[in-house]
Structure 1
Amino acid sequence: TMSCKPLNVPDVVLHLPCKTLAEFMEPTKVQSEGGLNVTLTIRLLMHGKVSSFTFLQKGETVKKMREESGARINISEGNCPERIVTITGPTDTIFKAFAMIAYKFEEDIINSMSNSPATSKPPVTLRLVVPASQCGSLIGKGGSKIKEMRESTGAQVQVAGDMLPNSTERAVTISGTPEAIIQCVKQICVVMLESPPKGATIPYRPKPASTPVIFSGGQAYTIQGQYAIPHPDQLTKLHQLAMQQTPFTPLGQTTPAFPGLDASPPASTHELTIPNDLIGCIIGRQGTKINEIRQMSGAQIKIANAMEGSSERQITITGTPANISLAQYLINAR
Structure 2
Amino acid sequence: PGLNLNALGLFPSGAPGMGPSMANVSPPGAHGGCSYGQGQPESETVHLFIPALAVGAIIGKQGQHIKQLSHFAGASIKIAPAEGMDAKQRMVIIVGPPEAQFKAQCRIFGKLKEENFFGPKEEVKLEAHIKVPSFAAGRVIGKGGKTVNELQNLTCAEVVVPRDQTPDENDQVIVKISGHFFACQVGQGNHRCTRQQFSRCVNISL
Listed as ranges, the matches of 1:12-31 within 5 Å are 27=26, 30-31=29-30
The corresponding residue for 1:316 is: none
Instruction: Give the CA RMSD over aligned residues.
Output: 4.0
Higher radius of gyration, 1 or 2: 1
Gaps of 5+ in 2: 1-24, 85-89, 200-206
What is the TM-score when the length of structure 1 is the normalising length?
0.39
Contact 1:156 1:176 in 2 (8 A): yes
**What do the CA deviations read for 1:47-85 (whole angstroms, capped 9, x no partner)?**
782673353455233223222222x22326556455450
Q: Which of residues 155, 158, 170 is equivalent to 1:156?
A: 158
Listed as ranges, the matches of 1:1-334 within 5 Å are 27=26, 30-31=29-30, 37-44=40-47, 46=49, 49=52, 52-56=55-59, 59-70=63-74, 72-75=75-78, 78=81, 80-81=83-84, 83=91, 85-89=93-97, 91-108=98-115, 110-113=116-119, 121=122, 124-131=125-132, 132-163=134-165, 169-196=172-199
Contact 1:164 1:171 in 2 (8 A): no
Cα separation, partners in 2 of 1:146 and 1:29, compared to 1, 3 Å: closer
CA positional deviation for 1:165: 9.7
Distance 1:86 1:28 in 2: 16
Number of residue equivalences: 165
Distance 2:118 2:49 in 1: 18
What is the TM-score when the length of structure 2 is the normalising length?
0.59
Larger RCO (alpha carbons 8 Å, 6+ apart): 2
Distance 1:53 1:185 in 2: 26
**What do the CA deviations read for 1:270-314 (whole angstroms, capped 9, x no partner)?**
xxxxxxxxxxxxxxxxxxxxxxxxxxxxxxxxxxxxxxxxxxxxx
Distance 1:52 1:29 in 2: 27
Higher mean displacement: 133-142 or 162-171: 162-171
Contact 2:118 2:124 in 1 (8 A): no
Distance 1:191 1:144 in 2: 15
CA positional deviation for 1:124: 0.7
Contact 1:154 1:176 in 2 (8 A): yes
Distance 2:172 2:28 in 1: 31
Distance 2:28 2:141 in 1: 27
Percentage of pairs with the same residue: 18
The corresponding residue for 2:13 is: none
Contact 1:43 1:87 in 2 (8 A): yes
The corresponding residue for 2:16 is: none
Aligned residue type for 2:117: N
Distance 1:164 1:78 in 2: 23
Gaps of 5+ in 1: 1-25, 115-119, 197-334
